[in-house]
Amino acid sequence: MEENEPYDFFETLFRLDASDDMHEFLEFVQGRRHSTADMLAAIAQLLARGRVRSAYILGMLLEKRGQRNIVMSLALSVGGLIFGNTIEEENGLQHLSAQVEALPPERLLEVYDRMVAPLVNQLWAASAAKQDPERVWRLLRHFQGAVREGFDWTAQVCKVCGSKAEYWFHALLRDRHRVAYYWCTQCEYLGTEASYWLSGEEEAAGEPLVTATARRQWARRRAFVSLLLLNLYDAQATCFDCSADGGRFARSMREAGFQFRHQNPQAVARAAEKRGKGGGELFELVTAFDVWQQFAEPGKVLDRLLARCDGVLFNVPLLPDPLPKPEEWEGYDLAGGRQVSFYAPRTLRRLAERRQLNWLSNGDELHLFTRRELSGEVFEGMARWVT
Ligand SMILES: [Zn+2]
């Protein structure tokens, strides 16, 4: 019997979809009567991967069989909109309201996160959306329950380079706040929406737990910064620190005989957002550890710091490539919920280039932006020596 022939439906389907050979794809999906359950599961996976055309074709085949399912309605409404078939678009939309309403809340979130969020940018890029944005809103409004009231799915301005930062996904922070993330395809900066879930007091606290690991890390940083100051800077001059450690690093540098001031990073961020360049005392070097992921406006903070020094030393873990989904990378720190900015190597290059800075790095987490002509090899060598 045909159904018992040895072939793997999903393996074949995804292979043909990826090969972009429409002819073979159609032949395969129309050639046999594949099970409805398999086809629905395939549509869900295709939508999750942003493969709208193939999902749309499967949706239309199931529609001919008289099937009704939310996954199909999505494929038809999204496919109809993107490929300019208003009849299929309406077919999909017609059933969507009732199907969304029938979902329990947790299933609505799942459908939204898995199948709708990955398509939002494709919807906005469709020519139909450019002529009539209301057509995109008609679809997205069904998922209002999965986002915050008044949430805007359109692109934002990138805080690093000013290009378009597109809506990318929602992640669940601290087990209860659903927060939107926007990604800039130009500089690869990833930022959250405005941090409504962080209260002012909590921001001000910023005290990390003093663990044995943290102590070792502070000791290494102190050793490295001491080396840097003694060899490449004026070790007698005053430095400025805005690390997120309640002033511990600055205190330990003072105990080691260096001149260090400390200011809470949130105070620095607030001052930077008021656009103040903050004249006054000049500093030999600025250190800013564990803090760049907490700055919602990294460009403005950097400008403010550079108005008073010519070098900023900092650490930041770099985003993996390709961009991981929320559950795929622990660097998002969803449980902690304090991190609002994420950087790729290209983001740091863009930040440095726009300000004519040299970017020195140990190839990992540690970076120095500086106007001075310093040797990258010396920097790297010292970083390696203390770690
Ligand atoms: Zn950008």
User: How far does the centroid of ligand 1 lie from the alpha carbon of residue 169, in Å?
Assistant: 17
Residue 135 and residue 28 share a domain: yes
How far apart, in whole angstroms, are the C-alpha atoms of residue 268 and residue 282? 15
pLDDT of residue 138: 96
- Closest-CA residue to 25 (of 16, 37, 33, 12): 16
Residue 29 and residue 127 share a domain: yes
User: How far does the centroid of ligand 1 lie from the alpha carbon of residue 91, in Å?
Assistant: 38
Q: pLDDT tens track of the chain, all 387 residues? A: 355 556 799 999 999 999 989 999 999 999 989 999 999 999 999 999 999 999 999 999 999 999 999 999 999 999 999 999 999 999 999 999 999 999 999 999 999 999 999 999 999 999 999 999 999 999 999 999 999 998 999 999 999 999 999 999 999 999 999 999 999 999 999 999 999 898 765 654 555 667 888 888 888 999 999 999 999 999 999 999 999 989 999 999 999 999 999 999 999 998 888 865 556 789 999 999 999 999 999 999 999 999 999 999 999 999 999 999 999 999 999 999 999 999 999 999 999 999 999 999 998 889 999 999 998 998 998 888 776
User: How far does the centroid of ligand 1 lie from the alpha carbon of residue 167, in Å?
Assistant: 13
Residue 8 lies in a domain: yes
Residue 219 and residue 97 share a domain: no
- For residue range 99-153, what is the model confidence (pLDDT) as tens digits? 999 999 999 999 999 999 999 999 999 999 999 999 999 999 999 999 999 899 9
* Measured CA distances, 326 to 117, 149, 180, 330 (Å): 12, 22, 11, 8
Residue 171 lies in a domain: no
User: How far does the centroid of ligand 1 lie from the alpha carbon of residue 197, in Å?
Assistant: 24
Domain containing residue 75: 2-154
Residue 113 and residue 32 share a domain: yes
- Closest-CA residue to 165 (of 190, 147, 194, 195): 190
Tokens coding 25: 């794809």
The total number of structural domains in the chain stands at: 2
User: How far does the centroid of ligand 1 lie from the alpha carbon of residue 124, in Å?
Assistant: 19
- For residue range 282-296, what is the model confidence (pLDDT) as tens digits? 999 999 999 999 999
Residue 165 lies in a domain: no
Instruction: Give the number of other Cβ atoms within 10 Å of residue 280's Cβ.
Output: 8
Residue 285 lies in a domain: yes
Burial (Cβ within 10 Å: 0-12, 13-18, ≥19) of residue 239:
buried
Residue 112 and residue 225 share a domain: no
User: How far does the centroid of ligand 1 lie from the alpha carbon of residue 163, in Å?
Assistant: 5
User: How far does the centroid of ligand 1 lie from the alpha carbon of residue 160, in Å?
Assistant: 5
User: How far does the centroid of ligand 1 lie from the alpha carbon of residue 76, in Å?
Assistant: 33
CATH number at residue 328: 3.40.50.150
Residue 370 and residue 284 share a domain: yes
Residue 333 and residue 238 share a domain: yes
CA 171 to chain centre: 10
User: How far does the centroid of ligand 1 lie from the alpha carbon of residue 191, in Å?
Assistant: 10
User: How far does the centroid of ligand 1 lie from the alpha carbon of residue 110, in Å?
Assistant: 29
User: How far does the centroid of ligand 1 lie from the alpha carbon of residue 351, in Å?
Assistant: 9
User: How far does the centroid of ligand 1 lie from the alpha carbon of residue 172, in Å?
Assistant: 24
Query: Hey, which residues does 191 pair with through a beta bridge?
Result: 182, 341
Residue 224 and residue 149 share a domain: no
* The model scores a pTM over 0.85: yes
User: How far does the centroid of ligand 1 lie from the alpha carbon of residue 364, in Å?
Assistant: 21
Give the H/E segment covering residue 370: strand 366-370
